[in-house]
Amino acid sequence: MPETPHNRSNDRPQQGRGRNPRSSETARFTVDGRPERRAGSAADRSANATRQSRSAHSPREAAPYGRDADAYRRRVQADRTSRPDPRGNTGRSERQPAPAIAQRAARLHASYRDDDRYRAKAPRAGSGFPWKPALIAAIAFACIVGGVFFFIQTRPIAITVNGEQLELGGSKDIAAIIEAGYATPKTGDFVAVDGEVLEAGKGEAFTAYVNSQKVDDAKTGLKAGDAVTIADGANTVEPSQDTVEPIPFEVVQEGSGPLHVIDGEGADGSKVTKVGDISGKTFVEENEPKNPVCRYYYPDTGGEKVIALTFDDGPWPDYTEQVLDILAENDVKATFFTVGDRINENGKALVKRAHDEGHQICTHTFDHASGDGKGVDLGLMSAEQQIEEVTKGYDAIRDALGTDPSTVIRTPGGNFGADVQKNLSPHISSEIGWTIDSGDWRLPGADAIAEQLKSAWPGAIILCHDGGGDRSQTVAAIREAIPYLKEQGYTFITIDEMLEYPAKDVS
């Protein structure tokens, strides 16, 4: 007997509810691979209920293939087998669906063409980044930073205002101190060039210093520990037409003695004539020049038997070397005042030897004031020439030694007048004279020179020459005098060492 839904065997797989809708045995697909709507949907259940009701009250319709229900089932089963499996399994060999089934599949496919449940949605651009959590985190971070900043800005700080310690909160600036009443500066006035008040209260609002630095902006920020001074505001002077006349500085000479030390730096003053643009008044203001002082003095050695032996006009072939040999033999120190243009190749070696053996090297100008100075007096030269004589002498020593030279000098002939003092004061620290002139430049004989040397006393500064001509008498004289003075208990020191002694009171 043909199998019908009423006499179907219970061994056959159950259809509809209760079956796994994703089972490969029951899954149905359209011809393009899309899943068909299952009988479990609300519409299918309604249609199934309608068919069952009709079958219960009306005669059954004839099977599509007549009475041969088995042929119909085989056709349907073959159609199911030919459709592709969602998991990639084809099952039995594929075959084309029957025309009727293909038409039905096409209708079903068309009915679900716009159903989003069966269409894959394309991901939105950038949808992979979690924008919402990131935005929330950024807002939270900004709130935290803002809160910390607000806390720091509003937290009071400890400062000192006009010598009194206090805590300042809120705005931390000069204006806040004044607004809080911690300082009550009086505003300055607007005045004429002579100081007469033109408008009261139109000057500067305050005068303030923070850690000894003047500030003009009331909004200048303060920090913990600052020392603030606030005073009355300064007067504002009317605009004016000014005429300025310089007042040259002068070197003030004080005392007497062989050591000439420059104290202070000179600066020109000025005479300013002001004519007020508003008041029309005339006012003369003088700014005094800064005058350095040249102290002349004798060293007070306190009884110490020290002598400064000096040599001028070298380096000189033969004689400078002989002098150095005698000094080395007696283990004594001296000071050499060199002439710059004589520090040639051989002269460099002599200067370097003297320096390396502990002697002091100073300049005696570059060419001994030749030219306008007539070889003896810088005062006969222009200010520019005087300065050049000294600076070029420094350069010659620097080139020989590779170090900066001493700024202690000796002028040619000891001529160190007021003009020379003024012109050279920015370039030197001291000018050195002498208390004993050996007279060797006159060539009086070795014995006469030696007698002069032997007459030395504590703090004496002795003038000799190792250059400038025949100095054989000088060489012979020091060979005799130096051992004698050492036997008398004298020590030979450099000029720098002599300058360490205080000035002798000669009043």
> Which are the catalytic amino acids?
312, 465
State how far the Cα of 321 lies from the Cα of 57, in Å rounded to an integer: 151
Q: Is the CB of residue 240 less than 8 Å from the CB of residue 193?
A: yes
- Comparing CA positions, the residue from 490, 49, 499 lying closest to residue 307 is 490
CA 27 to chain centre: 79
State how far the Cα of 167 lies from the Cα of 175, in Å rounded to an integer: 15
Compute φ and ψ for 133, nearest 5 degrees: -60, -40
Assign 3-state DSSP to the chain and report helix, strand, coil percentages, each to 5. Answer: 35, 20, 45
Q: Which two tokens stand for residue 423?
A: 């012109």
Question: Which amino acid would we find at residue 116?
Answer: D
Question: Which amino acid would we find at residue 46?
Answer: S
Name 36's Cβ contacts closer than 8 Å, sequence gap at least 6.
28, 29, 30, 105, 108
Secondary structure class of 297 (helix, strand, coil): strand
Q: Which two tokens stand for residue 369?
A: 């004031």
Q: Is the CB of residue 467 less than 8 Å from the CB of residue 312?
A: yes
Name 139's Cβ contacts closer than 8 Å, sequence gap at least 6.
none
